[in-house]
Amino acid sequence: MRKEFSDCYDLVVYQIYPRSFMDSNGDGIGDLGGVLSRLDYVKDLGANAIWLCPIFKSPQCDNGYDVSDYRDIDPIYGTMADFDALLAAAHERGIKVIMDFVANHTSSEHEWFQRARLSKNDPYHDYYYWADEPLTDWRSEFGGSAWEFNEPTGEYYLHSFAVGQPDVNWTNPKVREEYAAIVDFWVGKGVDGFRCDVLDHVSKDFKKGLRRNGPHLHEYIREVFGRDHLTNIYTVGEAETTEESILATCGQDRRELKSVFQFSHLMVGRQGKYTPVPHRMDEVKDIVEGWERFTQERDLLYILLTDNHDRPWFISRTGNDRALRYECATNVATAIFLQRGIPFVYEGQEIGCANSHFPDLSAFNDVECLGYYEENKGKIPEATLLEQINFGSRDNTRRPFAWDGTPNHGFTTAAAPWLPYASRADEINLAADLAAERSIYRYYQQLFALRRERVALRRGKSTQLLPESKDCYVYLREHEGERLLVVCNFERAQSLDGLPEGRLLLTNLDRAAGANGAYAPFECAVYDLTK
């Protein structure tokens, strides 16, 4: 594997949702000053990179995924000087900074669109998709038609997401130049990477009904990210994840992206976004293991994750987030983050955050779940709808970080935060976790310390053991004579016999060293088998 790829195995990325991480000026909204004040927290966890969800100027109809100026910071988050200070402080601590790159759409308030919508003759008109009649019957991801009428020109424009997020026309070479220049602007400032929002959407084929993964996708990605000066810039894309498309996007000779997210294991435990279904952790294991094998055989990077700002909490869907919350959170972290790939931790995951429950819609903000409500009210009984939204809303993971158990949870000095705290924030907060006999945060610290110390856990080959066994995930990581065994038991107590014996390095319960065999529910352990 080329060095610029293999070096990525040393990353541990901490994803920050800036609105909800830490508020530094008392307006109830997290901001860059808040992130800066918590950099040591991130470093102490063992992360060495942060991915900042969008902080660019934006009317915030999709919490910043509707950008109105790619080269400026939204005033709710601070100023460009605050950003520069954050970047410098991160680099001083050896923390890389990854920005969100939102290129499928702008905000309807972006200057390009403001001009484009006024006249067919404006040079910016061709920066977007227009048609006299909707070209397709596509629905917007957030509900309603994906085509919106525009009075001044008498045309419809495409918005795959909210009405305020018009899709940008990447067939226009000027558009591609603009985005390349935006990347260069941030690289010039010293940022280390980009997380590319719904990047596969930038090429479409209306005739064939392709909303994404269109015929020019790869040449477009290369035009922006394949340039020589970006060789050492880390990139991770949200893109279609068939084996074929991953190879085409992330192959080391492709000059496109370093990695893409695979989300298929995150559908376990639900059907669509809002309906729970029975789950088995074995399903998660099988999917993850399949990608592990595939990426390892093809020398591709794999992303290790269970949570982000677009999904409710993983342990609430696939595990026991009540009596066994500590066990589940630490077990899942061990099973996923010691695998071969790049760990992505989402803020709050490291203290075992779990889903909320609210009695009415006023506690929600997410444009997606509110759109779902609008589309279904009257069709689905009100109480059921509310249950579904509690289960599936993206707000579950977007609630302000609870640093402690005080009324403001150490997040803000404002009377109320922009979005209500999680309904279990009195129970689940950092201070409570650290004070508990068993701390999820401290376990994460040990886990990432081990990953740092043991090269086999970063660069090593991965082999699944006991592939036929149920309700457990057991694998070996090996590198130049170093051999580590990771044993993660899932839901039921069972004996895992026949595993090689080794020296115990880490466990989430009180496992006596060398006591292989019986495992409690969600017990996990890491052994050193090195001779």
How near is the Cβ of 32 to Ca ion at its closest, in Å? 9
Token output for 463: 């082999």
Task: Pick what 29 binds: Ca ion, ligand GLC, none; C-beta below 5 to 8 Å, kind-dependent.
Answer: Ca ion
Q: Residue 31, CB half-sphere, CA atoms under 13 Å: how many?
A: 23
Count of residues near ligand GLC by CB under 6 A: 9
**Which one, of 468, 455, 461, 474, lies nearest residue 524 by Cα?**
474
334 neighbors 524 (Cβ within 8 angstroms): yes
With CB under 6 A as the contact rule, the residue among 310, 375, 404, 482 that binds ligand GLC is: 310
State the minimum distance, in angstroms, from the CB of residue 58 to ligand GLC: 11
Residue 25 binding partner per list ligand GLC, Ca ion, none, with a CB distance cut-off of 5 to 8 Å that depends on partner kind: Ca ion
CB-nearer residue toward Ca ion: 27 or 387 = 27
Active site (annotated) includes residue 238: yes
H-type alpha helices, 350-483: 367-376, 382-392, 430-435, 440-453, 455-459
Sole binder of ligand GLC in the list 31, 197, 223, 433 (CB under 6 A): 197
Q: Residue 430: name the closest of 447, 444, 448, 414 by CA.
A: 444
CB of 63 to ligand GLC, least distance (A): 7
- Give whichever of 161 and 225 is closer to ligand GLC, judged by the CB atom: 161
The three-point CA angle 150-153-154 to 5° equals: 65
What, of ligand GLC, Ca ion, none, does residue 27 touch, CB below 5 to 8 Å by kind? Ca ion
- Cα–Cα distance measured from residue 301 to residue 322, given in angstroms and rounded to the nearest whole number: 34
In the set 8, 14, 23, 315, which binds Ca ion (CB under 5 A)?
23
Collapsed DSSP state (helix, strand, coil) of residue 23:
coil
Tokens of 530: 């090195």
The site partner of 198 among Ca ion, ligand GLC, none (C-beta below 5 to 8 Å per kind) is ligand GLC
Are 170 and 176 a contacting pair, CB within 8 Å?
A: yes
Strand pairing class (472-479; 461-465) = antiparallel
Q: How far is the CB of 426 from ligand GLC (least distance, A)?
A: 28
**44, 455, 484 from 480: Cα distances, Å:** 29, 9, 12
Spell out, one character per residue from 42 to 81, where the chain touches ligand GLC: x when CB under 6 A holds, - when not.
--------------------x--x----------------
From residue 254 to residue 293, what is the string marking binding to ligand GLC with x (rule CB under 6 A)? ----------------------------------------
Q: How far is the CB of 195 from ligand GLC (least distance, A)?
A: 9
Active site residue 197: yes
Binding to Ca ion (CB under 5 A) within 27-56 occurs at: 27, 29, 31
**Which residues within the stretch 472-491 sit at the binding site for ligand GLC (CB under 6 A)?**
none
Residue 291 CB, shortest distance to ligand GLC, in Å, is 19
**Paired strand residues for 530:** none
DSSP tag of 173: H
HSE, CB side, 13 Å, CA atoms: give it for residue 7.
12
Assigned token pair, 479: 């590198």
Cβ at position 446, least distance to ligand GLC in Å: 30
Query: In terms of residues, how long is the chain?
Result: 531
Is 161 among the residues that bind ligand GLC (CB under 6 A)?
yes
- Please choose which of Ca ion, ligand GLC, none residue 167 contacts, taking the beta carbon within 5 to 8 angstroms, the exact cut-off set by kind: none
Q: How far is CA 369 from CA 194, 228, 361, in A?
A: 27, 41, 10
CB 167 within 8 A of CB 103: no
In contact, 497 and 323? CB cutoff 8 Å: no
The C-alpha atoms of residue 69 and residue 163 are separated, in whole angstroms, by: 18
Instruction: Tell me how far, at minimum, the Cβ of 62 lies from Ca ion, in Å.
Output: 19
72 binds Ca ion (CB under 5 A): no
Q: Could you tell me the smallest distance in angstroms from the CB atom of residue 208 to Ca ion?
A: 45
Q: Which does 240 bind (CB under 5 to 8 A by kind): Ca ion, ligand GLC, none?
A: none
**Type of residue at 255:** R
Residue from 45, 52, 116, 198 that binds ligand GLC (CB under 6 A)?
Answer: 198
**In this structure, are residues 397 and 353 in contact, taking their beta carbons and an 8 Å threshold?**
yes
Catalytic residue among 200, 238, 327, 366: 238
Residue for token pair 């009210």: 377
Q: Is 103 in the site for ligand GLC (CB under 6 A)?
A: no
Q: What's the distance, Cα to Cα, between the start and end of the chain in Å?
A: 27
User: Which entry of ligand GLC, Ca ion, none binds 23, CB below 5 to 8 A by partner kind?
Assistant: Ca ion
Catalytic residue among 148, 197, 307, 368: 197
Pick 62 or 178: Cβ nearer ligand GLC: 62
Nearest CB to ligand GLC, comparing residues 58 and 412: 58
Q: Name residue 418's amino acid.
A: W
Residue 395 touches which of Ca ion, ligand GLC, none (Cβ within 5-8 Å per kind)? none
Q: Report the distance separating Cα 349 and Cα 142, nearest Å.
A: 26
Which 225-254 positions form the footprint of ligand GLC (CB under 6 A)?
238
194 binds ligand GLC (CB under 6 A): no
**Angstrom distances, CA of residue 253 to CA of 105, 249, 262, 294:** 28, 10, 20, 17
Query: What residues line the site for Ca ion (CB under 5 A)?
Result: 23, 25, 27, 29, 31
Could you give the residue numbers annotated as active site? 197, 238
Query: What residues line the site for ligand GLC (CB under 6 A)?
Result: 62, 65, 102, 161, 197-198, 238, 309-310
